[in-house]
Amino acid sequence: MTKLLFVCGSLRAQSSARGTQDALIARLGARATCATTDIGRLPHYNADITDNADVAAFMAQVAGADGVVFVTPEYNYSIPGVLKNAIDWASRPGYASVFKDRPCFVITVSGGALGGVRAQSALKIVLGAMLARVFPWQEVIVPQAPAKLKDGLLADEAILDFADKGLTAFLAEIGSL
């Protein structure tokens, strides 16, 4: 079965990014084995640190996944610093990291009307710089995300259906590699 690692770009337990992630994992059901990770455990990136257990565990999770799904909010027209920090840890060694050729799917959320499109663009640029394989699909965005949560989960059926179509295509792509 395909193993997906979901990386949430928010540290908040009740964030709209986490609510979107959890709703999508529930929707995937038995179609994939889904795991999540806690990027908040990682220290600030510092190349002098060479033996951190949390960093090693995160890199092992990425390496063990058939694909990585990012669900992140937009902070100040870009991705949250905590997400960039996690990516910086996993981007080493340069051009030969655990992200090289790793299929990635990007979903963004925002409290505003644009749903995180600027974060989507910024994240795709960063992933491309690491030679990750960003899945070419229509952008999955969740505008006005906090208002679309019910009991902590994304409850917008139109967005969930659209995201599910993208994730289904992503799973098919991974299966053909």
Please give the share of the chain, as a percent, with pLDDT higher than 90. Answer: 99
What is the DSSP-derived secondary structure letter of residue 93? S
Cis peptide, bond prior to residue 93, ω within 30 of zero: yes
| Domain spans, the chain | 3-176
What rounded mean pLDDT belongs to the chain? 97
Give pLDDT tens digits for 19-41. Answer: 999 999 999 999 999 999 999 99
* pLDDT for residue 177 is more than 90: no
Q: What is the pLDDT of residue 46?
A: 97
Judge contact between 17 and 10, C-beta under 8 A: yes
Task: Please provide the distance, in angstroms rounded to a whole number, between the alpha carbons at the two ends of the chain.
Answer: 14
The CA distance from 91 to 97, in Å, is 5
The CA distance from 65 to 103, in Å, is 9
Amino acid at 112: G
Q: How much is the pTM?
A: 0.97
Average pLDDT (35-56) is 97
Q: Which CATH superfamily is domain 3-176 in?
A: Flavodoxin domain (3.40.50.360)
Give pLDDT tens digits for 97-141. Answer: 999 999 999 999 999 999 999 999 999 999 999 999 999 999 999
Q: What is the pLDDT of residue 33?
A: 98
Give pLDDT tens digits for 137-164. Answer: 999 999 999 999 999 999 999 999 999 9
Closest CA to 148 of 160, 135, 161: 160
